[in-house]
Amino acid sequence: MAQVDFHERQLTLKLVYYGPPLSGKTTNLRALHSRVDALNRGRLMTLDTRDDRTLFFDLLPLFFRAGSVSIRLKVYTVPGQPMHEWTRRIVLQRADGVVFVADSSLAQAAANHDAWLGLTQHLAALRLEHVPVVVQYNKRDLPDRVDLDGADRFGDPHRRLLEAQAVSGQGVVETFSALLERAWDTVDADVRLAERFGITRDAFLDGMRTHIGADQAGTTPVLSSAS
Ligand SMILES: Nc1nc2c(ncn2[C@@H]2O[C@H](COP(=O)(O)OP(=O)(O)O)[C@@H](O)[C@H]2O)c(=O)[nH]1
Ligand SMILES: [Mg+2]
């Protein structure tokens, strides 16, 4: 659930990247991190094992202003391996929005499906069924990528599927933007953000896009390991 302080004019949202092992969740965060001005981001904390798999979770804090409201986004990834089921549930607690990063490889269809089932079970257990979930098919560069017309839509034939190639940054901001639109709508319906903060949905989204959508090509991400 969003942390909203109407007196201090602060809004904190928790966003989670979920998906099967190695689908590109951490890569999405790295790409986001590299596009945000250093002033508007905290350290990207990642904790990987030697084979490049997320051991616990990654966290990227982002900050921006919309009008006179300060917005803080805490963006997490979950570890994908089966043994981390419990960690995934803990990371999902109080989430305001989820990106489901599916792997476009045909060989990963079952892994996507299993991860989706796990996600729906966790959201139900946490009473977060109303939390928006945006689906991204990552790794669109793979030769064995699934055709989106025939791809798994995870139970909703009308579900919008976003495409990405996180390793080159393509589609990463678009996905994040789609997530924030839906997160705003959900939180606004809950606590009347627009009315009580006196800012519009567009002002919120423009504030975010200015900081996150601004192309910072050429900047090297400063990566630091959590200790
Ligand atoms: N071909 C391809 N590989 C990708 C893409 N995005 C991520 N990867 C690779 O997939 C592997 C797993 O990525 P990672 O972000 O660690 O996955 P996570 O387990 O979901 O956090 C890494 O070797 C990435 O470089 C992509 O768009 N295309
Ligand atoms: Mg990871």
Domain range list for the chain: 3-213
CA distance 72 to 62: 6
Of the two residues 43 and 92, the one the predictor is more confident about is 92
For ligand 1, is residue 24 a contact (CB within 6 Å)?
A: yes
Res 219 pLDDT > 50: no
Give the mean model confidence (pLDDT) for residues 103-108: 98
Strand, coil or helix: 173: helix
Of the two residues 97 and 57, the one the predictor is more confident about is 97
For ligand 1, is residue 141 a contact (CB within 6 Å)?
A: yes
Q: What is the pLDDT of residues 30-87, one digit of tens each?
A: 999 988 877 677 778 776 555 555 567 789 999 998 989 999 999 999 988 888 888 8
- 16, β-bridge pairs: 76, 98
For residue 220, what pLDDT is reported? Answer: 37
pTM of the complete model = 0.91
For residue 54, what pLDDT is reported? Answer: 57
For ligand 1, is residue 142 a contact (CB within 6 Å)?
A: yes
Q: Which residues surround ligand 2, an ion (CB under 5 A)?
A: 25-26, 54
Give the mean model confidence (pLDDT) for residues 168-184: 96
For ligand 1, is residue 95 a contact (CB within 6 Å)?
A: no
For residue 224, what pLDDT is reported? Answer: 33
Res 4 pLDDT > 80: yes
Ligand 1 pocket: which of 16, 18, 27 to mutate (most atoms <8 Å of CB)?
A: 27
Is CATH 3.40.50.300 what the domain over 3-213 is classified as, yes or no? yes
CA distance 101 to 112: 8
Angle at which helices 201-208 and 172-191 cross, to 10°: 150
CA distance 60 to 76: 6
Alpha helices in the chain, H assignment, sequence order:
25-35, 85-92, 109-125, 172-191, 193-197, 201-208
Q: Cβ distance 160 to 175 under 8 Å?
A: no
Q: Between vectors from CA 44 to CA 55 and to CA 165, what angle results, nearest 5°?
A: 80
Angle at which helices 25-35 and 172-191 cross, to 10°: 90
Amino acid at 176: F
